[in-house]
Structure 1
């Protein structure tokens, strides 16, 4: 397997050349580690296991682990292993996500379920979860406990994401809590591990955990906007996936709450089962793209990103802090 990684380091405003070089070196070490781990004696398993890793990706989670380490003792072998474990956990979750989403495209290539089949995608996802746990187990009992609790939150968030908001619950609060589990938990662990395995103080470790969760929520909110706003092929994903799944993202929640009579057609579409209605999805996307709810969702995404930035205020000034303060805005301004 040869990885083709999107260079996320270069997308961080304010990163010094020296910091950029260290991060690029760290990511190269993470990718080399992943390449060894996903390999297998069986050529079919090796091909399926390496399918998404070979397609590249942002490597956002390991990048955060490396950046968090730069706030303390710097990047070392344990930090690299922890970063690889987090990224492998993320990759494994994508195998399962694509089955649930019935996705055809991931990272600009055929999704695993499309390239192989659903059973292979599920089983290889399980295999990669096992390999991620094996990596983390080498880092000690505390790391294993963090990994287990993170995995529980990932599953909890995904289960709740597939359910309608319970009656009497504010739909925005419910959705943000789902994102905190589904996406924020693993990114929180990425930041936590970076500070933890570079010798950071308990206060710094907790700061990076909270920062990671906030930036994870912003990351997913940005993805939700992209799912509506992007044209087919722009982001490497199929637009309207959330509509097909019946997931009410923030823009949809805001649109549903509108009492403007002009939104009657949109409300009608959003009340339908769009899972096999391509024309309905396209019409709903066209209406959502010009709806005030989408702009409000963008504004709320920026607000969460700014909350993440403020968490870093007590951290001593350094090059990594500057990069970490720029990262949340970079996350919400990306195209894919």
Structure 2
């Protein structure tokens, strides 16, 4: 019960932070660029500080190996920064619920990639899961009407880009995760990604409405939606299996959808719910497909995807 509670709390905080980001973008005039750079810098510093408190030797050791340094910098810019920006851009042009659901297509992309890399055809249950995911996306972006899109083209583009970036983010650090802790990799990834993005959008380049609500929103995204959510998810793995954590983590799009409807009054009809259900079932199927497949990527490399 402790593991279940922790993983569900972490996933809910991730989902809620997406809705809070939507509130900052659409009602307070914040830009995704500013929120991304601030979140990366602040969260990276906090995670590395936490690692130092826990005496994580990997925080210093990772810089002594040239190959590890190169892989870390590549992951930081292409993986970490890529997934953060595409996700927030999808929220900006659409809403948190749709952006989160579309990002959940990343396991489908990973499954297709691994089948190609291992030179095998997808298994029957993988084909079923992929087909189910495609049906889910169809319901979400068309509401069942094949003649029109129910979301903007930019929201669809950034949502799908977020799924591909999330897949890259998951696959890139596999070798690093075999040698160093997740705290080390994610902490440095966020900090380096934030520093790199600062050259494009420095953290002092700000636009938006400053109020007590917007300040609380930024603090929530950085602290609760990143640091605490990350720790809850990691702590849960002491009590439950990664496959179980991945499945229970599906409450993230549910929490994002629920809060965006209740708080921000976003429309969310039967077709949206049906599409989301299809994609969540897809995640459950693929989580347990990977459980018994030694040719697939390490389950532990999936544990930070939602960050």
Identify the TM-score tier after normalising by the shorter chain: 0.3 to 0.5
- Please identify the structure whose Cα radius of gyration is greater: 1
Q: TM-score, normalising length from structure 2? A: 0.34
